[in-house]
């Protein structure tokens, strides 16, 4: 079964450093997302990306965050200057448009990157 | 105001003891309601999508149902391997394709 792949699985960084989280979505999917989950809290939407541009972003996704799809397969989330409160699990997700989906349609999530800011 | 509320927060069952998890939602227009399973340290694993009141979907020991205000995930004769956190998420008509998640129900099935 196709998977969304995320690397690294765990990243430790010092406060103020830049980090790049990487994702390889399912190859024929067209919509891409980043979510995060702070320990013990709910999964929160960060940003959606379609047709090589941001289609929607949440209040969390401020100027410190950016996304890119540099080569048609990878999808990255960059945090320019990390803060302690950025420590969380970051999940990448992808999906097809519903009209192209058959059966039980849904968003596919990766296994996540655990970001620890010290 | 919470848009998606799941109950109970935690549920302990004996193997074979059937039960239901609840997801209440408040949205202006529902495009879809999604159920996911999440194991510790892992990403959400897709289970079901429901689109309209009255719809039901089944997979092995799980059955999801939807009304205009809530969804239920029924677990029949659960096994220890069903232990996980079950997440409910909604996609609203007015919010693009983002999902809004509930807090989840942590299910433990004892042998």
Query: For residue B80, is the peptide bond before it cis, meaning its omega torsion is within 30 degrees of 0?
Result: no
Q: Which of residues 70-99 of A touch B (CB under 8 A)?
A: 89, 91, 95
Give the mean model confidence (pLDDT) for residues A8-15. 97
Torsion of CA A15, A57, A74, A27, to 10 degrees: 150
Residue A23 to residue A75: CA distance in whole angstroms: 5
Is A44's Cβ below 8 Å from some Cβ in B? yes
pLDDT for the residue numbered A103: 59
pLDDT for the residue numbered A2: 80
Contacts of B89 in chain A (CB under 8 A): 43
As a residue count, chain A comes to 118
**pLDDT higher than threshold 60 for residue B1:** no
pLDDT for the residue numbered A98: 65
For B50-96, the pLDDT digits (tens) are 999 999 999 999 999 999 999 999 999 999 999 999 999 999 988 78
- Residue whose C-alpha is closest to residue B104's, from A94, A45, A37: A37
Q: Count Cβ atoms below 10 Å from residue A48 Cβ, excluding itself.
A: 23
For B12-59, the pLDDT digits (tens) are 999 999 999 999 999 888 999 999 999 998 999 999 999 999 999 999
Angle at B57 (CA atoms; ends B20, B1), nearest 5 degrees: 60
Q: Which of residues 6-45 of B touch A (CB under 8 A)?
A: 34, 36, 41-45
**pLDDT higher than threshold 90 for residue A92:** yes
């Amino acid at each position: 079964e196709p998977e969304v792949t995320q690397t690294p699985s765990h990243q430790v960084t010092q406060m103020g450093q830049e980090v790049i989280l990487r994702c390889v979505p399912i190859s024929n999917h067209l919509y891409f997302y980043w979510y995060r989950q702070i320990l013990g809290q709910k999964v929160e939407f960060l940003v959606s990306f379609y047709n090589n541009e941001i289609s929607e972003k949440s209040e969390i996704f401020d100027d410190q965050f950016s996304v890119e799809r540099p080569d048609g397969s990878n999808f990255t989330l960059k945090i320019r200057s990390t803060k302690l409160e950025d420590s969380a699990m970051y999940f990448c997700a992808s999906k097809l448009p519903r009209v192209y989906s058959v059966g039980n349609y849904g968003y596919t999530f990766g296994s996540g990157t655990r970001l620890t800011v010290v | 105001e919470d848009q998606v509320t799941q109950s109970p927060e935690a549920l302990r069952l004996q193997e074979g003891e059937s039960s239901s998890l609840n997801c209440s939602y408040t949205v202006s227009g529902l495009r879809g309601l999604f159920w996911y399973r999440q194991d510790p340290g892992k990403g959400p694993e897709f289970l079901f999508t429901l689109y309209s009141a009255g719809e039901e979907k089944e997979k092995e020991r799980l059955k999801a149902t939807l009304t205009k205000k809530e969804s239920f995930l029924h677990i029949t004769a659960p096994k220890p391997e069903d232990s996980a956190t079950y997440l409910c998420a909604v996609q609203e008509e007015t919010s693009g394709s983002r999902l809004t998640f509930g807090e989840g129900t942590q299910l433990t099935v004892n042998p």
